[in-house]
Amino acid sequence: MKSRKWIWMIVISLFLSRTAHADDVKPQTPNPELATADHLHRSGNFAAAAQKYAAILESEPKLVPAQAGLIRCLLLQQKVDEAFTTASSAVAAQPNSSALLAAMGDVEFRRAQMPEAETNYLKALKLDSKQVPAYIGYYRLYEAFSYYRRAYDALNVAHQIAPDDPEVQKLWFDRLPRRERIAAIESYLAGEHGDDAEQTAHLQQYLQYLRATIDKPVHACRLVSKVESTDITLEEPPPPVGATATIWPSS
């Protein structure tokens, strides 16, 4: 009798565990207001998107996608101090949110707080190894300090996770052969992207240049004068940002 009792207890326990798991993975009901705000964000209407995110947060103050969206829209409007206040409050309330930590890293990067930004990007990736904005943040951070190999590694991971992400696409252009780059930029400009008018115009000009020079031979670099000898002083490179060795979290 005791053995049968234990068997039933195990069966009930497994059933409850599976039921709880099913509840956890049940897809959330789409928020139409959030979808509208995201659309405004992707189309480059940052002011309207920020207002929409803020309105959503009045009724759902801890909705992470709306918080992260608002923070990034404030940054895109050059409202860095307001973005910092918003991000600090959001992270304090939800310190284990990967998306909010990545957004905080973006704010700190804009404030030139490089070690703090690196720390929050790493925290974000430890919580969620597929947090694409954190990899993008790492890319920009390491590009700024000329750690080009580390920057490429971060962007490469982001591209593997989300090759269709508009921000990843834009950063990936220079990694493509010229003809593929032209096609990729054309596709990017034809879809929704969160660039302002100036950035879009710059990209369109670059596309025109690529088209105009597609069939022209590459001109090799050469010295304009003869150099007999030169002296170069070699110095030890500075330590990594924040003296932190970056190891991408395993998925």
Between CA 146 and CA 139 the distance in angstroms is 10
Per CATH, is 35-212 categorized as 3.40.50.300? no
Domain spans of the chain, in order of start: 35-212
With vertex at residue 84, the alpha carbon angle to CA 82 and CA 88, rounded to the nearest 5 degrees, is 120
Between CA 5 and CA 213 the distance in angstroms is 79
Q: How many CB atoms lie within 10 A of CB 181?
A: 18
pLDDT tens for the chain, 251 residues: list them: 545 544 444 433 443 344 334 333 344 566 899 999 999 998 889 999 999 999 999 999 999 999 999 999 999 999 999 999 999 999 999 999 999 999 999 999 999 999 999 999 999 999 999 999 999 999 999 999 999 999 999 999 999 999 999 899 999 998 999 999 999 999 989 887 778 788 889 999 999 999 998 887 766 667 677 777 777 776 665 555 554 545 555 55
